[in-house]
Amino acid sequence: MENRTTCLNCNAPLTGKFCSSCGQEDRPQKLSVWQLLGQFFSGLLNYDGRLILSIRLLFSKPAALTLAYMEGKRSSYVNPVQFYLFTSAIFFLFSSTFSNPDLIDIAGDDEKGNIISIGSPPDDSASEAADFAKGFSEGIEAGKRMRESDSIVNLESDFESYEEYLSNQLTLKPEERSSSFELKFVEKFYQIKDKYEGQKGFIQAFGEEILNRLPQVLFITLPLLALILKLVFIRRKHYWYIDHLIFVLHIATSFFILLFIQKGLELLASSTDWSAFNFISGLLGFSWLIYYLMSFKRFFEKGWPKTLLFFFLTGFLQSIVFMVVFALLLVFAFFNL
């Protein structure tokens, strides 16, 4: 190896094997193939080692990973943002790859317009998709009953186009006309009606649009959840906003790891018809809630009465944020079709 006195990367004086300025290892200027591959696998194994260590500490001691990162012990663990992005990306990729397309089928019965579920989950813990289809079907039936009683206007049968709808608006009294916001929805309704054939195409496109936007929406929501924690615990001056954000990122990461395991158990249950997998999945979900509560108590250093009070208070406020953001997501997805 050449005896160099300066770093090849930043030209800083070398005092050892690694540059004290940029951290680059002192290696030959021309690398062999084996040295190049060695660098690759060294970096990969180093990341995997930090990943495994981070996951182990994340679950073995609630809030310990967050506290360690706050104390400056960062080289041994994965960056919280990278940790969250990695686990959430793996979950969404796994979920989309191994989703069961036959679980729900929306029948193309033009005469009745019913939504029929032909797949059934292994037990009473129905999937979210099945619940959505059932609720949507009940909504369709309720809508039919309302139309039969002339309580609402049937846009599909009364007006063939948006232009006809606008013409009808001109015949109404000003106070009876739709607002500009309502007109935007009605206009989009007719665009969707022309673009998608029947309810099946619309529901599938709408669901795909929501799933595609969900990772970005969740990533945007996390800072808001951290802000709620900061406001609730505003008297704890030694906790900066970034500390709350790291705590939220680690909790969200643990949740995605849980969802990943539950998705695997769901696939095993559907392929083996063994209901024990669903019981284990439910038990893991309950265990995660206990884990979250323990993390909350250890991170904020409160007694159990105050921990429970603040835990449910922040949970309530964060639920409101989730509902608002999800409602905005539905509107955005609808107008993006």
Domain residue ranges of the chain, discontinuous segments joined by +: 1-28, 80-101+202-336
Across the range 304-321, mean pLDDT stands at 94
Q: Residue 332: what are its φ and ψ, rounded to 5°?
A: -65, -45
Cα separation of 153 and 157, whole Å?
9
**Alpha helices, H only, the chain:** 33-60, 64-70, 80-97, 128-148, 155-158, 162-170, 180-195, 198-232, 241-272, 276-300, 304-336
- Identify the residue with better confidence: 81 or 162: 81
Q: Does 104 score more than 50 pLDDT?
A: no
Structure tokens that stand for 159 in this block:
């007006």
Q: What is the DSSP letter of 17?
A: S
Residue 237 is predicted with a pLDDT of 84
Q: Does 332 score more than 70 pLDDT?
A: yes
CB-neighbour burial class of residue 290 (10 A; exposed 0-12, middle 13-18, buried 19+): exposed
Structure tokens that stand for 145 in this block:
């009953």
Across the range 83-87, mean pLDDT stands at 91
Across the range 26-42, mean pLDDT stands at 65
Lowest-confidence segment of 8-22, 93-107, 323-337 by average pLDDT: 93-107
Nearest residue to 68 (alpha-carbon basis) of 282, 299, 303, 316: 299
Residue 294 is predicted with a pLDDT of 97
Cα separation of 221 and 164, whole Å?
40
Cα separation of 169 and 183, whole Å?
10
Q: Kindly list the distances between the CA atom of residue 251 and the CA atoms of 80, 81, 247, 299, 328, in Å, as whole numbers in the listed order.
A: 10, 12, 6, 11, 24
Q: What is the DSSP letter of 174?
A: G
Query: Mean pLDDT: which of 102-116, 154-168, 316-330 is highest?
Result: 316-330
Nearest residue to 95 (alpha-carbon basis) of 207, 186, 17: 207
C-alpha torsion sign, points 206, 211, 212, 218:
positive
Residue 17 is predicted with a pLDDT of 79
Lowest-confidence segment of 48-57, 180-189, 201-210, 321-330 by average pLDDT: 201-210
Cα separation of 219 and 322, whole Å?
12
- Identify the residue with better confidence: 127 or 41: 41
Cα separation of 196 and 188, whole Å?
12
**The residue to which tokens 């998709």 are assigned:** 129
Whole-model pTM? 0.68
Nearest residue to 249 (alpha-carbon basis) of 232, 282, 224: 224
